[in-house]
């Protein structure tokens, strides 16, 4: 089997149904549709998705497991991947969905890049309202040129080594978004031990590096010597910006993403690339820090280590320039508003 599509799910029955429907639509474009499976790990949802699973199991090769208790975000992701028997794994959020040509295109690039262990697959960003319009019209192609944005704007297919993907022009969050990654399962399995099992069991959202970025920790170890491939054409639609953790995004950007880069550096990312990416990751540092400080009850402030996450970043220019960038953007926005009113 070539591919396992892994879907960790929790309390989003309607979104899961839409996701599976999109996979079924995409399957119809395949000549050999037995080359993939769908692995669903249910994190003890309050309402069981079993009726939905049974409906789609008639048409898709689905494995389904339900956790006896909620394991937390990180462990449920690992659980869904552990179910996979495909040569490659593609993890999707239960509120993501595929385009009709997605599976056909993905198999094509896997076959054409047989020495690649890792693929970055572009994605369209969408709001839930925009997603609803697509589903109502039942036409992905009609909306394709109207999507608000993409995960990446790097505009050429690109064969490279893994660490060449770690660049702001390719992935602004440096592969934090696991749903954009297709990777060889064997490499993953051989390096899964790098995750701290005690830390990942912490169910508090984004409370430590291992329960926020476990996949980045594995990627850094498993693929640091691997050939990789960037595919510019989006093959999925995601609504990540409207997920329940959006209040913590500013914390994730100035704390967890720089930590991802530290992890990559320890595993072989070049010093020059590290400096460039780390400086870029701090482009909103001071304005986001003050937001986190003011909104400390819900912004992740309790997980902020002043020395590690503040003092150690003071050597980078964007630590200081971030507030200037912020003032410039606000001034520009005010001038635009003033011009419109005049």
Q: How many CB atoms lie within 10 A of CB 125?
A: 17
Same-domain check for residues 257 and 191 = no
Is 257 found in the same domain as 239?
A: no
Cα dist from 220 to 61, 90, 192, 195, 273, whole Å: 31, 17, 11, 11, 14
Domain boundary among 215, 243, 271: 243
Q: Does 211 share its domain with 312?
A: no
- Going edge to edge, which strands form the sheet with 116-121? 62-66, 36-42, 3-9, 88-91, 181-184, 116-121, 227-231, 158-161
The tens digit of pLDDT for each residue in 302-335 reads: 999 999 999 999 999 999 999 999 998 888 777 6
Q: In terms of domains, do 205 and 92 share one?
A: yes
- What integer pLDDT is reported at residue 333 of this predicted model? 73
DSSP label of 156: S
CATH number at residue 202: 3.90.550.10
Residues 209 and 250 in one domain: no
Whether residue 62 is found in the same domain as residue 181? yes
Q: Which domain holds residue 336?
A: 245-342
Q: Which of 213, 243, 273 is the last residue of a domain?
A: 243
Q: Do 37 and 152 belong together in one domain?
A: yes
Neighbours of 36 (CB within 10 A): 23
Same domain, 122 and 30: yes
Both 235 and 257 in a single domain? no
Q: Is the pLDDT of residue 186 over 70?
A: yes
Residues 189 and 298 occupy one common structural domain = no
pLDDT at res. 172: 93
Q: How confident is the model at residue 153 (pLDDT cuts 50, 70, 90)?
A: very high
Beta 181-184 vs 88-91: how paired, if at all? Answer: antiparallel
Short-list 26, 20, 106, 100, CA closest to 63: 20
For helices 13-27 and 102-112, give the axis angle rounded to 10 degrees: 60
Last residue within a domain, chosen from 195, 223, 243: 243
Indicate the number of domains in the chain. Answer: 2
User: Which pLDDT band, with edges at 50, 70 and 90, does 118 fall under?
Assistant: very high
- pTM of the model as a whole: 0.92
> Would the pLDDT of 238 be above 60?
yes
- Asked if residue 34 and residue 11 are part of one domain, the reply reads yes
pLDDT at 97: 87
Q: Are residues 148 and 11 part of one domain? A: yes
State the pLDDT confidence band at 141, using cuts at 50, 70 and 90: low
pLDDT, position 329 = 87
């Amino acid at each position: 089997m070539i591919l396992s599509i892994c879907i960790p799910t929790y309390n989003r029955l309607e979104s899961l149904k839409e996701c599976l429907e999109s996979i079924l639509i995409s399957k119809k474009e395949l000549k050999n549709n037995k080359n993939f499976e769908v692995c669903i790990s249910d994190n003890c949802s309050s309402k069981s998705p079993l009726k939905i699973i049974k409906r789609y199991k008639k048409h898709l090769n689905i494995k389904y497991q339900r956790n006896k208790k909620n394991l937390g975000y990180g462990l449920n992701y690992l659980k869904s991947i552990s179910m996979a028997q495909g040569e490659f794994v593609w993890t999707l959020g239960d509120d993501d969905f595929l385009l009709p040509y997605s599976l056909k295109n993905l198999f094509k690039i896997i076959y054409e890049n047989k020495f690649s262990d890792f693929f970055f697959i572009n994605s369209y960003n969408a709001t839930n309202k925009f997603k609803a319009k697509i589903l109502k019209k039942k036409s992905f192609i009609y909306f394709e040129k109207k999507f608000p944005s993409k995960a990446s704007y790097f505009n050429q297919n690109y064969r490279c080594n893994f660490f060449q993907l770690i660049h702001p022009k390719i992935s602004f969050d440096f592969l934090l978004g696991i749903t954009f990654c297709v990777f060889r399962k064997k490499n993953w399995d051989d390096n899964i031990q790098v995750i701290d099992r005690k830390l990942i069991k912490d169910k508090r959202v984004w409370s430590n590096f291992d329960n926020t970025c476990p996949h980045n920790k594995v990627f850094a170890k498993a693929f640091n010597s691997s050939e990789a491939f960037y595919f510019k054409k989006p093959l999925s639609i995601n609504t990540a910006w409207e997920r329940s953790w959006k209040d913590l995004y500013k914390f994730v950007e100035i704390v967890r993403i720089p930590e991802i880069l530290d992890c990559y550096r320890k595993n072989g990312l070049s010093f020059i690339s590290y400096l460039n990416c780390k400086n870029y990751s701090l482009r909103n540092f001071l304005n986001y820090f003050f937001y986190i400080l003011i909104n400390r009850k819900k912004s992740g402030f309790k997980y902020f280590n002043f020395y590690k996450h503040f003092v150690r970043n003071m050597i980078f220019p964007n630590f200081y320039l971030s507030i200037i960038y912020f003032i410039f953007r606000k001034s520009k926005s005010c001038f635009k508003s003033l011009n419109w009113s005049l």
